Amino acid sequence: MTEIHIPANEAPAPGSKSFRELPLSPAMQETLQQLEYLEMTPIQAASLPLALAGHDLIAQAKTGSGKTAAFALPLLTKLNPRWFAVQALVLCPTRELAEQVSQEIRRLARGQDNIKIITLCGGTTMRPQRASLEHGAHIVVGTPGRIMDHLERGSLQLDGLSTLVLDEADRMLDMGFFDDIVYVASHCPPRRQTLLFSATYPDGIARLAQQFLRDPQTVKLAEQH
C-alpha cells in the first residue's frame, strides 16, 4: 500500500496545483473556472491524480478540506450520460450531508448534459423515491439504511455501478451503519472503483477497506499544528 503524507500547512508551490494539470474535459475545466475553483485544495491535489487514474483510494481528511470535488470529478468523468443506469453511489452519514454532497455534485456537473442525481435518505416515505428511481438516475447519494431498503425491495439496481464512494466513513460507523455498508457494498459489481473518505482511521474503517477496496492508495492530510 502506498501512503502519501501531505503537510496541511505546506505553502502551495506556484502553478503546481492547478486543476489545469488534470485530465479533465474542456467542459469540466470551464465549470471549475466558473465556480472559481482555481487551485486544488491539498486533499484534492493528492487524491485527484490517483482517483482519475482509476485507483481505489483511502483518503483521510477533515471537514471543509474539499473532499466532495475529490470524488465528484472522478465519478463524473467516467459517467455515460446516455446510459440510464446508476453508475455512481455516494454513501453519507446524514440527510444533511447527503443533500450538501448532491448539491456540490450538481454544481460540478452543470457543464455535462442531463445528469440525473437522486438523493435517498430515511425519514420520508419510500414511494416518491421509488417513483423517481423508476425514471432513471445516473448518480445516487444517500444514507446507508435507506439505500439498503431500496436494494432489498428491488427499487434500486447497482449492476451498472462504476464508482462507490464512502463519504465520512468514520461517522457512518459511529452511527452504527457498518452492516448496512457491508450489505450495500456486496450488491455492487466487483469491477468498480471505490473511494473511501474519513477524518479518522479506526479499526472498523480498516476492516471495510480490507473487505471492499482493491489495492488502495492511501492519502493522508496531516493535522495542522
Contacts with ligand ADP by CB under 6 A lie at 37, 40-41, 44, 63-69, 104
**Residue 85 CB, nearest approach to ligand ADP (Å):** 26
How far is it, in rounded angstroms, from Cα 16 to Cα 113?
30
Closest CA to 88 of 50, 140, 143: 140
64 binds, among Mg ion, ligand ADP, none (CB under 5 to 8 A by kind): ligand ADP
How far is it, in rounded angstroms, from Cα 188 to Cα 14?
41
Yes or no: say if 118 and 141 are a contact pair by the CB < 8 Å rule: yes
Yes or no: say if 78 and 162 are a contact pair by the CB < 8 Å rule: yes
Radius of gyration for the chain, computed over Cα atoms and rounded to the nearest angstrom:
17
Beta partners for residue 119, in sequence order: 141
71 binds, among ligand ADP, Mg ion, none (CB under 5 to 8 A by kind): none
* Residue 69 identity: A
Segment interacting with Mg ion, rule: CB under 5 A, options 10-18, 65-73, 134-142, 206-214 = 65-73
* For ligand ADP, the closer CB: 31 or 217: 31
**Residue 131 CB, nearest approach to ligand ADP (Å):** 29
* For ligand ADP, the closer CB: 48 or 115: 48
* For ligand ADP, the closer CB: 36 or 215: 36
How far is it, in rounded angstroms, from Cα 117 to Cα 109?
10
204 binds, among ligand ADP, Mg ion, none (CB under 5 to 8 A by kind): none
Using CB under 5 A as the criterion, which residues of the chain lie in contact with Mg ion when the complex forms? 67
